[in-house]
Amino acid sequence: MGRILLVLFLSTWLTLGLAGLPVAVGGQALPSLAPMLDKATPAVVNIATRGKTKQRRQSPLYNDPFFQRFFNLPDVERTRETQSLGSGVIVDAQNGYILTNNHVIKNAYEITVTLTDGREMQADIIGSDADTDVAVIQVKADNLTELPIADSGQLRVGDFVVAIGNPFGLGQTVTSGIVSALGRSGLGLKSIEDFIQTDASINVGNSGGALVNLRGELIGINTAILNGGGASSGSIGIGFAIPINMAHEIMLQLVEFGQVQRGRLGAEGQDLTPELAQAFGVSLTSGFIVTQIESGSPADSAGIEIGDIITSANNKSIRSSQDIINLVGLLRMGQSMDVTLYRQGEKKQFEVIIQPIEVAMLEGKHLLQKLAGAKIGQVSESSLKYGLVTYLQVIEIKADSPAWRAGIRESDILYSINQQLIPTFEQALETIKNHQGDMILNIQRGNRALYLVIK
């Protein structure tokens, strides 16, 4: 009889559990996030923007410079009005600084911030950084609430987290979950990636919102969601947030300089694989193999060589090339990086001072009037495959300039004029001086090569 009563009791308890948790058990209230959220949610704001962006023709043929020249088409752009919704986090109530995503306020000429108490106010852009998708805006208001900042370096997979934002313009919404993974990179979302992955539901409008721990401390800035096809507008339980340690470091530079002052290492490479480790005769399981070094770069000056295997930097393990990109991208110019590497099986230590790489520059108009508006650099680098290589590359270009209208774009590598190689300024000037009429310029753009006719 006792067993029957026990079964009936358990059956009834499970049924109640499925229907919903009781408010209290044994007179004790169940745990609730409400007290923490009462303090945290006033620091998360809604952001609405109005902006303008230039839009080119949609057909890929219209974007091909050779096609435009062949059919004598004008290079026309039209301006389109844009609107966006997002979220932000007040991190400095006294100065009115709000952290958000770069893509939330990109191209905005008007930014409206709405607080949880209903107040609306205009915000100014302090600075933004596309490489990390971090931006700082500022409002002038009293009685603001800020979120305390935690150390995101202490996060562990399995920690409970709460996402706060304004999805779909519905108003402030709270979702909960756990940290699913740390150090996510290689997603192709941004140049510098070191994301916190969470299953807390993140949707459109959550961008720039807060990811907090159960103490109500800011641990990340929500930035992206993912589905089977990449970044999307619907959440399937895979969301990403920028660690607050990274976002805060970027914020400090944006507040001080209005931009991030990045230096460069000047070393390119690839991830160490088991096959490469065996070929190099090392027992390492991960690392970064240097395959290319820019002449005069910080890496070159420090004594790093092609074939070196970097395993750690500033006491952080280097597992892949993305680890190097992340680390260097967060260092300020003039800061040092202590590098541990293996050279022919021997462990070595180097100190690298991160600095901008000095590149010989020439205004495009000094080569050819049709290249006015472009700044062209003469770059030299050593590679494992080709040895020392020198080439001309477009470092900067002004929109609507003669060079732009000729079809030149930033980062284009200029290989030849009329099938004559032009690796240096001197050779380019000599080739142009001895030629009359139209010129055919061969360029490398990303992974493809194309020809431009310069009239």
Give me the CATH number covering residue 347.
2.30.42.10
Q: Indicate if 238 and 271 belong to the same structural domain.
A: no
156 or 71, which is more confident: 156
In CATH, what number is assigned to the domain containing residue 127? 2.40.10.120
pLDDT confidence of residue 192: 80
Q: Annotated catalytic residue: which of 84, 103, 235, 297?
A: 103
pLDDT for the residue 42 = 94
Residue 441 has pLDDT above 70, yes or no: yes
Catalytic residue check, 103: yes
pLDDT (mean) for 362-380 = 86
* Confidence label for 234 from pLDDT (cuts 50, 70 and 90): low
* Residue 334 and residue 442 share a domain: no
Q: What pLDDT is recorded for position 77?
A: 57
Instruction: Give the pLDDT of residue 319.
Output: 85
User: Could you report the per-residue pLDDT of 401-429, keeping only the tens digit for each?
Assistant: 888 888 899 889 988 888 888 888 888 88
Is the pLDDT reported for residue 57 higher than 50? yes
- Does the annotation count 366 as an active-site position? no
pLDDT for position 26: 61
Q: Is the model's pLDDT at 18 over the cut of 70?
A: no
> 319, 353, 387 — which closes off a domain?
353
Could you tell me the residue range of the domain that residue 324 belongs to?
Answer: 267-353
Catalytic option among 84, 87, 128, 133: 133
* Per-residue pLDDT band at 150 (split at 50, 70, 90): very high
60-75 per-position pLDDT tens digit: 555 555 555 445 555 5
Answer yes or no: do 348 and 366 share one domain. Answer: no
One domain, residues 184 and 321: no
pLDDT tens for residues 80-99? 777 778 899 999 999 999 99
Please state the separation of Cα 416 from the chain's center in Å. Answer: 33
Could you say which of 207, 235, 320, 321 is catalytic?
207
Let me know if residue 295 belongs to a domain.
Answer: yes
Domain membership flag for residue 190? yes
Residue 219 lies in a domain: yes
Q: Which of 14-28, 143-157, 198-212 has the highest mean pLDDT?
A: 143-157
Q: What is the predicted pLDDT for the residue at 19? A: 42
What integer is the mean pLDDT of 190-202? 84
> pLDDT at position 111, please?
92
The answer, yes or no, to whether residue 246 has pLDDT greater than 50, is yes
Average pLDDT, the chain: 82
User: What is the 3 state secondary structure string of the chain?
Assistant: CHHHHHHHHHHHHHHHHHHCCCCEECCEECCCCHHHHHHHHHHEEEEEEEEEEEECCCCCCCCCHHHHHHCCCCCCCEEEEEEEEEEEEEEECCCCEEEEEHHHHCCEEEEEEECCCCCEEECEEEEEECCCCEEEEECCCCCCCCCCECCHHHCCCCCEEEEEECHHHCCCEEEEEEEEEEEECCCCCCCCCCEEEECCCCCCCCCCCEEECCCCCEEEEEEEECECCECCCCCCCCEEEEEHHHHHHHHHHHHHHCCCCECECCEEEEECCHHHHHHHCCCCCCCEEEEEEECCCHHHHHCCCCCCEEEEECCEECCCHHHHHHHHHCCECCCEEEEEEEECCEEEEEEEECECCCCEEEEHHHCCHHHCCEEEEEEEEEECCCEEEEEEEEEEECCCCHHHHCCCCCCCEEEEECCEECCCHHHHHHHHHCCCCCEEEEEEECCEEEEEEEC
Q: From 230, 260, 290, give the residue that closes a domain.
A: 260
Is the pLDDT at 79 greater than 50, yes or no? yes
pLDDT of residue 7: 42
pLDDT at 9 over 90: no
Q: Does 159 qualify as catalytic in the annotation?
A: no
> Which band of pLDDT confidence, cut at 50, 70 and 90, is reported for residue 326?
confident
Domain stops at, among 327, 353, 379: 353
328 and 233 co-located in one domain:
no
* Domain tally, the chain: 3
- Same domain, residue pair 339 and 382: no
Q: Using pLDDT thresholds of 50, 70 and 90, give the confidence band for residue 245.
A: very high
- Same domain as 332, residue 252: no
- Same domain, yes or no, for 138 and 154? yes
Could you tell me if 256 and 292 lie in one domain? no
Q: Which of 63-67, 79-83, 99-103, 239-243 has the lowest mean pLDDT?
A: 63-67
